[in-house]
Every structure is written in structure tokens, then in C-alpha cells.
Homo-oligomer: A and B are copies of this chain.
Amino acid sequence: MSKKQVKAVIGQNIHAQSFTVARADRERLNEHKGKVIWFTGLSGSGKSTLANALEARLHRLGMRTYILDGDNIRHGLNKDLGFSEADRAENIRRISEVARLMMDAGMVVMAAFISPFKRERELARELIGPENFFEVYVSTPLEVCEQRDVKGLYQQARTGKIPNMTGINSPYEAPADAYYEVISTSANFDAAVTNLVLMALDE
């Protein structure tokens, strides 16, 4: 095996060397594979809403699921991080490592973060392993997100109170090759969730 292949194998089986129960055993018990579904898109695009609806459907099917998002990460694991470029990269790195551990634990992990930079999402894909990583681009247009403005962040950014607001005064680098792209509106919501369920079930 080449060095790169060895690295990939290690990435898949973090525990294989040391522990009796491995990822494959947990997946057998769960009757599904562990994987990471990564939602990227602007604030207010509907990432968490879609992840939540997807999780509810998968849970009803008896699958083991978890959502990582700003609420449970920024107030816990990553509460020491700010919004500088270095901190945003470290934010995504830690999230990726946690998602990888939970996937190794046999779960379907949904990560819902703006994650505006290609570089960061590539880091996540690399750490998690491309074969485990399903990128969902929630491409709801800025105008729609800004109109919703659920958290009032866009208004604050427009009046200069938030310096690094993605889409306003900080760039969003759209994925060129997302596994799935969806504009989240009430009209297509149920269809979008059904497509995501099919994606999550596909092994």
C-alpha cells in the first residue's frame, strides 16, 4: 500500500488497532453505516431546519443520528474561539474531528455550519474521508436569507455592527461539486427532505 492509502485506512478505522469493538461492529448493530452529511450555506438559508427535518425522519426509521451546529458547538467545545480567519479554520477542524469520532461510533452525523470557505470544507472532507462525506449546499439566495433574518444578524451587518457577516462583508465560496444542492423554501421543503433521506439511506 502507498503511504496515502495507509493514511486513508487509518482514517476509516480510528480504533482498529487498539479496541475490540470497531466501527464495522457498531454499524452492524445499528444496521446502517456511519457517515457525515455536511450542510453549507448562508446564515438563514435553512441548513439547521433541513438537518432537523432529516434527523426526525431518520430517527423514525430507527437510525442513530446527531446534529452538530452552532448552538451545541459554539457554546461548548468551541466557546474559546472567535471569528478571525484562524479561529474559523480551527472551528471547522474541531467540528470535523468530532463528526469523525461520532461517525466512527456508527452514527449518521449532520453538521450544519455556514462553512463559507472551500479550504475549510476540503479540510473537513479530508479529515472525515471523502467516502464518508456528503456535502449539501443549501443555496437559498442571499435576498431570501436576508429577508428572513431569523437572528437579526443581517440587519446588524448592514448597519456595520457585525464585521464578518458571510454574504455581506465576508465572502461565501459556493461549492462547485456538492453532492446535493437545494434551495430551501416552504414550497419545496418536503421534497428536499425526502431527497436527503434517500441520500442518507444510500450506502
Contacts and interface: CB of A to CB of B under 8 A. Distances in A.
A97 B81 CA distance: 14
A14 interface: yes
Contacts of A102: 101-102, 105
A19 B52 contact: yes
Main secondary structure of the interface of A (DSSP, over half): helix
Interface in A111-147: none
Interface stretch (A38-46, A63-71, A156-164): A63-71
Interface stretch (A54-62, A167-175, A183-191, A194-202): A54-62
Interface string A76-89: 11001000000000
30 contacts: A15-B67, A15-B72, A18-B48, A18-B69, A18-B71, A19-B55, A19-B67, A20-B55, A21-B59, A26-B59, A29-B59, A29-B62, A29-B64, A30-B64, A64-B64, A64-B106, A68-B101, A72-B104, A76-B97, A76-B100, A76-B101, A77-B98, A77-B101, A80-B90, A94-B94, A98-B101, A101-B102, A102-B102, A105-B105, A105-B107
Chain copies in complex: 2
A66 B65 CA distance: 15
Contacts of A26: 59, 64-65
Interface of A: 14-15, 17-21, 25-26, 29-30, 48, 52-53, 55-56, 59, 62, 64-69, 71-72, 76-77, 80, 90, 94, 97-98, 100-102, 104-107
Contact of A71 (B17, B68, B76, B97): B17
Contacts of A17: 71
A97 B53 CA distance: 25
